Structure 1
Amino acid sequence: MNSKMPRSARSALTEAIRSRYRASSGKAKRQILDEFIAATGYHEKSAIRVLNASPTKARRTRRKSPLYDEAARAALIVLWEASDRVCSKRLKALVPMLLAALERNGHLRLNEDIRSKVVSMSAATIDRLLQAPRNATRLRKMPRAMPEPRRRIRIRTFADWHEPPPGSVEMDLVAHCGPINRGSFVYSLVLTDIASGRTEAAPIVVRDGALVVETLERIRTSLPFTRRPPAFSSGLN
């Protein structure tokens, strides 16, 4: 087929002459076919197949009304806020108990239709309905400034080490403060040799750079191998 006729125009022409072509015979039918081929650029066999095909029925698309209306979504948002914005899977399990408690204490009143819709929501539906309020309440994290030591010292993870020799160590300063980082507490300076897994730990009474260096030198004298200063990474902040 070699024709610059738009597809929509070609379809309209086909629908217009199909009934006349099928009702004709002999020379009249041949003339209609030749004119159709000249106008559309169809190959003869393709043109005959198109003209003999049944007329296309216009598809009627019926818009499906949403199952969950704004009232059900609003009730879901109330439950989500009351649950401290838990994830959808946990909210799905909490909805029956949470809904009963809110209704019992007069914080929420739903008719039976809305109530049944909220209880029957799947976790995926809850995710979809809460997408907008989640995006609206999501706080944008401010970029954290990297301390000067971290900019100057290359930090390696376990996967970055490729068969290091003994003496390539990682060290970290662990605070023994429990859940409250306030007041005075003891730290532990922990060194781990990457090759052997040997770990050494020493207490530090206060967080002080001079004490860290002093403790590090004390640990170094007890190691059975020579520490390799250029090769270790630090977790100190």
Structure 2
Amino acid sequence: MFHNYVTTKPHNLNDLEVAMNIEARRAYIKAVKERYTQSSKKDKSRILNELCLICGYSRKHAIKLLSEIHSSANVLEFKRRPGAPKTYSSSVDARLVELWQIMNYPCSRHLKQALPLWLPYDLETDENTKRQLLAMSESTIERRLRPTKNKRPKGKSATTPPKLKTQIPLKLCKEDDRKTVGFFEADTVAHCGDSLSGEFAWTLTMTDLCSGWTENRASLTKSAEQIKAGVKDIEKSLPFVMMGFSSDNGSEFLNSTLHEFLVEERGNAVEFTRGRPYKKNDNAHVEQKNFTHVRNIFGYERIEGQNLVEKMNHIYRELWCPLKNFYTPCIKLKEKQRVGSKIRKKYDIPRTPFQRLLDSKQLSMKEIESLQNEKNGLNPFKLQRQLKQELKDFYEMLEKYRYVKRAA
């Protein structure tokens, strides 16, 4: 009577426990329930023995099942779990994960603010799913993304202190610098892989303290001339004037070439300062951008060759920096308060660097109009698709370079 429910034919009765699936067990219980209720105590004991042997239940559980069936429960129906029904379907969760990946893995707080900016351009998501995504709170987004989040590896330090320190004053970040557009923190990222030996690519990162506007440029070395060229190229692309430049104590920054360019060769000198030695948190803003703006797309691979550096700069200029500056919200620390042994931090609402520039009211109408026109010509989904293709091409070039180098 069980052949329609048994997945494999058992060789003996003991194998039946493994062979029977849940539907077969339910059908068997339903078949014996009437006989069980009408049997004597001795026959009930025998039926229970058979049920425990065939289905693998404990005796107490078998009695409970037969009693539930005798009362009101239907063994062929699933019981609904207690609690409120699901608000979001699995398809909404799947689309949330896809958008999170497309937006380059922002935290839930940033993602919450980015969704209204991205979804108007999303042609693949239906309106009902869009409404549900916009209705999600930060906590709900965090819970539903938690199973898919991965840890990322750490990087290597490549900073060497130079001798030119007396000409460049030591200065910590002030509150006024964080409220005024144009004060930058700068740092470099080594694309060295597992070894700092030889020639490899470097990325220069510069971030504005007030708005979070960030630009990146790659070079084959971190020589003074290459870093100067990177700073010069970034300055040309900025929608506002650079007023301050703060770096660590690395030799790529503390040198006469960069000092002359920023301070001596221009009418309105840039305020060139440095942080304390061995205090990475003095330039905490740009240290954080090194991960979100550099490691997130180029990882910890060793990158060599001028053609790869040029490809990196194309990605930075045309795709990555516009995507980050116009369509990726970020948060800023408002205050810190010590409560006993703990420090409680309060953050503002996530905003994109573009929105923060407009909120600052420090740009001219011409600068605002230029920025708005640039944003109107951008589509975040198109940028992301192009970025994905360019990164695919980049890693194919990188693999080809390694193959040729190994064969040489």
TM-score calculated relative to the size of structure 2: 0.21
Q: TM-score normalized by structure 1?
A: 0.34
Flag the structure with larger Rg: 1
